[in-house]
Structure 1
Amino acid sequence: MTEPEHGTTPTASPTDERVASHERVATGALAGWMRSCATHPWRVVVSWLGIIAVLIALVATVGGALEDEFTIPGSDTQKATDLLEAEFASEQGGVLNLVFAAPEGESLDTPVRKAAIAKAITRLESSEFKPSEDTVGLTEVADPFDDETFSDNGRIAYAQAQFDQVIEGKDRDAVVAVQDAVRETVEPAGVTVEFNGDAEFPPVEQGASEGLGLLAAIIVLLFVFRTFVAMLIPIALAIVALITAFLLLFILAGFTKINTITPILVSMIGLGVGIDYSLFIVTRFRQLLHDGLSKQDAAAEAGASAGRAVIFAGATVAISVAGLAFIGLDFVTKLGIGSALGVLTTVLIANSLLIAVLSLLGHKVDRLKIPFIRAVDDSEEARDRTPIARWGRFVTANAKVVFPVLLIAGFILAGTSALVRLGAADQGTQPLEQTSRRAYDLLAEGFGAGFNGPIPIVVDVNGDKEAATRIYERVKGLDGVASAGEPQFNDPGTVAIVFVTPDSAPQDEATDTLVDTLRSDVVPAAVAGSDAVAYVSGQTAAFKDIADQIISRMPIFLLFIIGVTFIVLAMAFRSIVVSATAAVTTLLSAFIGFGVLGLVVQQGHLLGLTGLDKTGPIETFVPPIAFAILFGLSMDYMVFIMSRIREEHVHGLDTRAAVEHGISAIGRVVVAAALIMGTVFAAFILSADRVPKEFGLLLAVAILTDALVVRMTLVPAFLTLMGEKSWYMPRWLDRVLPNLTIEAPHAGAPTPATPAPEPAGGS
């Protein structure tokens, strides 16, 4: 055990002189609540059944469906969208592209194939697919054999089918019916047909990823607990919390638009934290039982200590998600709020229902042991002999080597995040199993790479109808432009659209450059001296606008998240060293995750493992949402491990010994929790859509790095090197900050160690 430095906290007493955990009784409001839940468990269980019943009733009465809505306030893209919605009302319905193709080396222009395609078009124009009061329908279907829709090689053609309404999730069956009708009509003639357009989007697929995540969690929990009953508790709590989160999500959808990708994030975050938080509390409960407490006392004490850490951990996630509001994009904020629902429900259930269930179970939590595997001994003496405990002693003994080596390696890997390019990955990067990807490839083959991403220039003529023509004349011969369409005016002639087809694909940097050129040079020159106003829009422009908005707001976003979290952790641990370490190391983990995501998805290293076959940029909204989630979740591990280290320090051990005992007590849980969380995230790499794959890969890498490398190795090594200075807190800040600590106050406990005194001349 190291000796303390002169003027720091007094040398800790040996382990066997510490106050035993069962001799310390938690006090305070939270401890009183936990004792109430443990003493009256059936009241808590019945209350939660009633809450869930009320939520189900609310979903049935005021709940709504999920609907995608992306707005970018103040941007050219949004101004163009608003103008089109106001002036082209008749064209607001969804469009489904029917992409026909003959076999390689053959032509569609044969009597049999043309007849089959014509029959399919005629069928779509019949009353079978007309709009009705109950369902959406087709208002128009174009001719695929027009000169502009029939490829030069004769192999590929497309037709646009116009629906009467914007297609939403509830309209999916109507779209599928159209697709099935076309397929069954043309395929006997040897014609392949694929579909894309804004009416074709894959439904949100859930179940497979969540199931794999649960299976992995079950395996890890069985290894940790060695009993089926203990394993089932975190799984059951996570499922209940997830169900509650989804009920809240659909109630929220009744009052505001919630994007269809939100359930993926709710599942991803909800399952991970649901299992992790309950794992933390159940482990503490079993340790207290094995130390001799009664089942009610153990449940109450586990809630007062581990449950308190769970509340702080959940608060950091809430703070991080709240910071997304500073981005100024409504859909980003709502995605964050949806992600936080799983955390909110888990914290509430873990600190009430879980405590009640543990109180009812008592020593039954150790029943149904796995055969042929030795039961886990959670006593303190046994914990000190585990591999995790030995790892903690290795890290502290070799801190002077471990810390610089890991820090340098981390900075090198994090540096790869500088290569990440934000943008809009087009449908050409989606899995080949999706019809929209196959349609994209056919259209790119038949009509050029830029055909799938036209750039619409929307012109509000304001009395100058020639403005749209001047834009067209300047654009059609521009470098990087494959073709430009003549201006298309609305009926009153007040608004025109000039469609520009680039040479490059929507996701290529060359297309980004073309958008910049149009906005900064070509369009302003064409409308100079005129009252006309023009906006460059489209997918590429939209994602550029999103990126610009995110980058401009990123400083205040980061300042809020890091600043508020710093203050919360300073209150919790009464140390600015610990809170600053948490913030800096979390940033390191985040940049490592971003770097690895870029290396895989953008650079193509090990791309096949994700189920993708084509690289592309990272979607612009992924980094802020992932960062907010990651910052909150990585703080969870910091809170979990540091709460136990601080508890050991408060009750008498010096810093190095507190680190060693903290790791031996909670390290196994942190490792298990990280493996569970990482596996749950990684399971979403198997999703059909690219965006969940990106979130899953990024969060899995970052969480595993953060928990296993940063929290279990880098931070303990740093604390060991800092010694008692780890607990430094300026006296003025200690007086200002509320005394809201993670370690619950205990009757009969030793007086907590005072903060290390300030150095001479300190503030």
Structure 2
Amino acid sequence: MDELLDGSFRDSLASEGNSNRGPSSTGILYRLGAWNARHFKTSILVWLLVVVFLVVLMGKIGGTYSNNYSLPNTQASTGLSILQANNKAVTGYSSQIVLVDPNKPLSNFSAQISQALTSLSKLPNVVSVSNPLTATGAVSVSGETAYISVAFNQNPSLFSPSYISSVETAMKSVTNAKVNVYYNDPLGLLANPKASDIRSELIGLVLALLIIAFAFRSLYAAGLPLVSALISVLGSLGIMALLAKVTTFSTTSPTLTTMLGLGVGIDYCLFLTTRHRQKLMDGLSPAEAAGVTVSTSGGSVIVAAATVSVALLGLYVSGLTFIGKLGLAAMVGVVTSAIGAITLVPGLFGLLGTRMDRIHFGKAVAETGEGEDFWHRFSRSVQKRPWTFLVLGSIIAGVLVIPLFSMQLGRLDAGSNPTTYSDRQAYGAVASAFGQGANGPFVIVVTLPPSVANSSSALGTLEQNLNTSISSLSNVAHITVPNLSPNKAILYFNVVPTYGPQASQTKALFDNLVNVTLPKVLNGGEKGYVTGNTASGIQFLELVVSKLPIIILFVILAAFIILMATFRSILIPIKAALLNLFSIGAAYGVVVAVFQWGWGSSLVGMNQKVPIESYVPMIMFAITFGLSMDYEVFLISRVKEEFLRTKDSSLAVASGLSQTARVISSAASIMAAVFFAFVASTNIVIKMLGVGLGVSVIIDATIIRLCLVPSVMELFGDAAWWFPKWLDKVVPRIDVD
């Protein structure tokens, strides 16, 4: 290694050191920051006009959000397509209306139920309505619970919220008779209390304001990041609404956009404001200070945002459109905030001028200088005992990782919702009256060759063989009578599992039907498919699990390339990837402990244990890895700056940590506060993301940045900056200054 350091490394170091003369007043970023500060009225006005325009468009022509888990070319989707093609009465969009009277059989209310069915059939988008009193298997043994099946010509989750009022009006004859009426999904989603994340956003903003005020000791400086972040988030939500008009986005998407937009928007502005205030204290004019700030910290913002965006877009590598669009939604918030950071924020700097600290309480705080403050001394103490802190930090993170190894992925459904929700009550009533599996039956679709379809004896033999083979399987509660399509092309029926949709036994039954039973029975030219919501959920989970390693590799490789191009180093990107995996693993472990094990679940508003939603780890990984790179870029860029100035790697680490520790700690506290605030959301997926992302940010900013990074960098020494000459010629250069 000494030979390497004496050769290409020394040449590279000298070249970079000679070119490191500080931010140029002719650089693009410098000119951008200075121009926006000088012409702050124009800068701010343009931003306000654009955001108002987007918000108006959002209200006028903005699209709606719905969950589309469809997976093309899978067992479930192919089976549904065949079923719909051969029976026009089967639309694929249906919902249950559950009726419960614990005191008398529902047959006593036949007149009221008939009146309700007539009213339901007249509603827009309704294709057919089943009578529970005459439909096979729709009334419980006790006669006190029954369900109406309503078929629609499109997904009910796309209907306006007012549609459920029409349904409730149609059911008046039943509810007036004191019969309990509950709506299972997807109608239940309309009937449930309307979830709003405004409370989470307000909590996050208040906490952020308190943290920034404590860090800056200045009212103007504390309010600036919040103002810029709010304007950027409004703009990103307007963009999302327009995108939702042309393509389908999940109902979680706008919350994800807001969560990431607020978190990184405040953080980016915090980094810029810290540098800007220091430059004002150094005697620069507001425009000059803004120019220097954008050309330095602004460059770091661009690299950080690019890294997060690449990680989020990497979700498209999964091949799952639903997950890819969640990444796109989060990226919209990040990119809009980054653009706001290098254009709107300098405009706000210009507006405040030299009045940044006019209303302050306590000593004005800016960047740490070159003196040996607490963080400098702390870094030195870590660097004196690198192996001790490396082992200690690894043990702490390792303990938090332990629950990860028992992670159980699944699909959250109505059974996971609060007991006050209509769909949760419907789910519970169906499970109690008909068995757990009644909430997620499999639909078996069998294509028939003409030799079987046109022969009553052959068809009867096939039905008997299917009934015998499937009924004898473990975990099967019962199967329904097979139906022959009008064109005699397919046979279809339901298989009701013994256990609920989330149970491992139900997954085992699906695998048996697909891989063993149906292929064994269907040997005369027929072909069988297992479809339905439960089958789709199982295959969605399988695909997510199979694609997760690909996503992890893609995100790590993309981040490695960006950091390598930015810092001209091999070891630093490797170190960043490995240490980030620590924080992500620990965050996974905490999420498992809280939601799956139930540890402290009441603190996050959960009253039951639930599996981890299948796509949450994938989303968490992309976001967490990207955000961890934010702090990596801000810290290591300062370390490199000091290293090029002093040529002392150990001193550079201490100085870099000293200059960034306070602002990174403040930024991490703010981002964690924003993420944890979303735990107040009624959406369980958002709760999981809030807990996981909040924990990962705290771990990254404490254990990783304050203990492990100084330890590893000390062990690396000058080798941290080794970069082969041949690679230096090949890899494009990304300059954060």
1:206/1:312 CA distance change after superposition, 3 Å = same
The whole-number CA distance in structure 1 between the counterparts of 2:261 and 2:368 is 31
1:142 aligned to which of 128, 131, 134: 131
Query: Which amino acid counterpart does residue 71 of structure 1 have in structure 2?
Result: S
394, 414, 424: which one pairs with 1:437?
424
C-alpha contact 2:70 2:536 (8 A) present in aligned 1: no
Cα displacement (A) at 1:288: 1.5
Count the aligned residue pairs: 715
Residues 684 and 83 (structure 1 numbering): CA distance in 2 closer, same or farther, change over 3 Å?
farther
Q: 2:405 aligns with which of 404, 407, 418?
A: 418
Between the aligned partners of 2:25 and 2:463, the Cα distance in structure 1 is: 74
Return the alpha-carbon distance in structure 2 between the equivalents of residues 146 and 136 of structure 1.
Answer: 22
Rounded Cα–Cα distance in structure 1 between residues aligned with 2:646 and 2:724: 22
Instruction: State the distance in 2 between where 1:711 and 1:263 align.
Output: 31
Q: Which residue of 2 aligns with 1:258?
A: 249
The Cα of 1:490 is off from its aligned counterpart by: 2.7
Secondary structure at 2:529 match in 1: strand
Distance across 1 between alignment mates of 2:383 and 2:489: 73
Q: In the alignment, does 2:38 pair up with 1:43? A: no
Q: Aligned with 1:632: secondary structure?
A: helix
How far apart, in 2, do the equivalents of 1:630 and 1:540 lie?
A: 30
Partner of 1:272: 263
Change (3 A) 1:433 1:642: farther
Give the structure 2 partner of residue 751 of structure 1: none
Write the mapping of 1:166-315 to structure 2, written as runs, cut at 5 A.
Answer: 166-179=155-168, 182=171, 190-201=178-189, 202=192, 203=194, 205-315=196-306
1:427-459, CA deviations, whole angstroms, 9 ceiling, x for partnerless residues? Answer: 222222321112111211111111111111122
Task: Tell me, yes or no, if the aligned pair for 1:138 and 1:163 is still in contact at 8 Å.
Answer: yes
Whichever residue aligns with residue 122 of structure 2, its letter is K
**1:100 equivalent in structure 2:** 99
How far did 1:36 drift? 2.5
1:682-701 matches, within 5 Å, as: 682-701=676-695
**Kept in 2: contact 1:423–1:540 (CA 8 A):** no
Cα distance in 1 for partners of 2:175, 2:377 equals 66
Matches within 5 A, 1:311-710: 311-370=302-361, 374-378=362-366, 380-381=368-369, 384-386=372-374, 388-463=375-450, 464-465=452-453, 466=459, 467=462, 470-528=465-523, 530-652=524-646, 654-710=648-704
Q: Distance in 1 between matches of 2:541 and 2:228?
A: 38
1:477 Cα shift?
A: 2.1
What code does the residue aligned with 1:341 have? V
Query: 334-343 or 374-383, which moves further after superposition?
Result: 374-383
Query: What whole-Å deviation, never above 9, does each CA across 1:448-480 have from its counterpart, x for those lacking one?
Result: 111111111122224334355533331122111
Q: Look up the equivalent residue of 1:553 and give its one-letter code.
A: K
CA contact (8 A) 1:66 1:253 kept: yes
Higher relative helix content: 2
1:521-542 Cα offsets, whole Å, 9 max, x none, are: 11111112x3222111233332
Q: Take 2:516 and 2:650, find their aligned partners in 1: how far apart are those partners?
A: 63
Report the Cα offset of residue 315 of structure 1.
0.4
- Distance in 1 separating the partners of 2:463 and 2:208: 59
Secondary structure class of the residue paired with 1:714: helix
1:472–1:485 CA contact under 8 A, matched in 2: no
* CA distance 1:136–1:361, change in 2 (3 Å): same
Q: Deviations over 1:24-51 (max 9, x none)?
A: 6555332232233233323322332343
* 8 A contact 2:275–2:367 mirrored in 1: no
Amino acid at match of 1:440: Y
Q: Deviations over 1:631-660 (max 9, x none)?
A: 111111111221222222222262222222
Q: 1:84 to 1:172 in 2, by over 3 A?
A: farther
Please report the TM-score for the alignment, with normalisation by the length of structure 1. 0.87
Q: Deviations over 1:619-641 (max 9, x none)?
A: 22222222111111111111122
Taking the TM superposition and a 5 Å limit, the aligned residue runs for 1:50-199 are: 50-56=49-55, 59=58, 63-92=62-91, 94-102=93-101, 106-109=102-105, 114-115=108-109, 118-119=111-112, 121-123=114-116, 125-126=118-119, 130-131=122-123, 135-136=124-125, 139-144=128-133, 148-179=137-168, 182=171, 190-199=178-187
Residue by residue, what CA displacement relative to the aligned partner does 1:678-708 show, whole Å, maximum 9, x if unpaired?
2222222222222222222222222221222
Q: Which runs of 5+ in 1 are unaligned?
A: 11-17, 745-763
Q: How far apart are residue 162 of structure 1 and its match?
A: 3.9
Structure 1, residues 519-565: CA drift from partner, whole Å, max 9, x if none? 1111111112x322211123333233223323433444333221121
Q: From the superposition, tell whether residues 736 and 53 of structure 1 become closer, same or farther in structure 2 (CA, over 3 Å).
A: same
Could you tell me how far apart the structure 1 residues matched to 2:306 and 2:733 are? Answer: 16
Change (3 A) 1:110 1:232: same
Aligned residues of 1:320 and 1:629 also touching (Cα < 8 A): yes
Q: Which amino acid aligns with 1:107?
A: N
Name the CA distance, whole Å, in 1 between partners of 2:168 and 2:93.
14
Distance in structure 1 (CA, Å) of the matches to 2:87 and 2:616: 32
The CA distance in 2 between the partners of 1:506 and 1:419, in whole Å, is 20
Q: Aligned partner of 2:481: which letter?
A: E
SS state at 1:254 partner? helix
Equivalent-residue separation in structure 2 for 1:340 and 1:204 (angstroms): 23
Query: CA-to-partner distance for each residue in 1:276-316, whole Å, 9 max, x for gaps?
Result: 11111111111211222211111111111111000000000
Offset, 1:163: 4.2
Q: Secondary structure at the match of 2:704?
A: helix
**AA at the equivalent of 1:629:** I
Residues 477 and 6 (structure 1), Cα distance of their counterparts in 2 relative to 1, 3 Å cut:
closer
SS in 2 for 1:729: coil
Question: What amino acid sits opposite 2:129 in the alignment?
Answer: E
Q: Distance in 1 between matches of 2:714 and 2:176?
A: 73
**Letter of the structure 2 residue corresponding to residue 451 of structure 1:** A
- Report the residue type matching 2:373 in the other structure: R
Amino acid at match of 2:137: E
Letter in 2 for 1:536: V
Question: Structure 2: how far apart are the matches of 1:391 and 1:431?
Answer: 47
Could you tell me how far apart the structure 2 residues matched to 1:737 and 1:650 are?
Answer: 20
190 and 261 in structure 1: CA distance in 2 versus 1, 3 angstrom threshold? same
Q: Deviations over 1:105-163 (max 9, x none)?
A: x533289xx44x7436514523x8723xxx54574252358672332344433333444
Task: Please state whether the residue corresponding to 2:428 is helix, strand or coil.
Answer: helix
Structure 2, gaps ≥5 residues long: 11-16, 454-458
- Distance (Å, rounded) in 2 between the aligned partners of 1:45 and 1:22: 32
Q: Quick one: percent identity of the two aligned structures?
A: 31
CA distance in 2, matches of 1:62, 1:178: 26
Kindly indicate whether the alpha-carbon contact (under 8 Å) linking 2:132 and 2:146 is maintained by their aligned counterparts in 1: no
Could you say if the C-alpha distance between residues 161 and 538 of structure 1 is closer, same or farther in structure 2, counting changes exceeding 3 Å?
closer
Task: State the shift of 1:204 in Å.
Answer: 5.1
Q: CA deviation at 1:332?
A: 1.2
2: distance between equivalents of 1:323 and 1:599? 27
CA distance, structure 2, for counterparts of residue 379 and residue 407 of structure 1: 30
Task: Sort the Cα spacing of 1:205 and 1:6 in 2 relative to 1 into closer, same or farther, 3 A.
Answer: closer
Q: Distance in 2 between matches of 1:666 and 1:234?
A: 18
Shift of 1:518: 0.9
The residue type paired with residue 484 of structure 1 is I
CA contact (8 A) 1:472 1:498 kept: no
2:706 maps to 1:712? yes
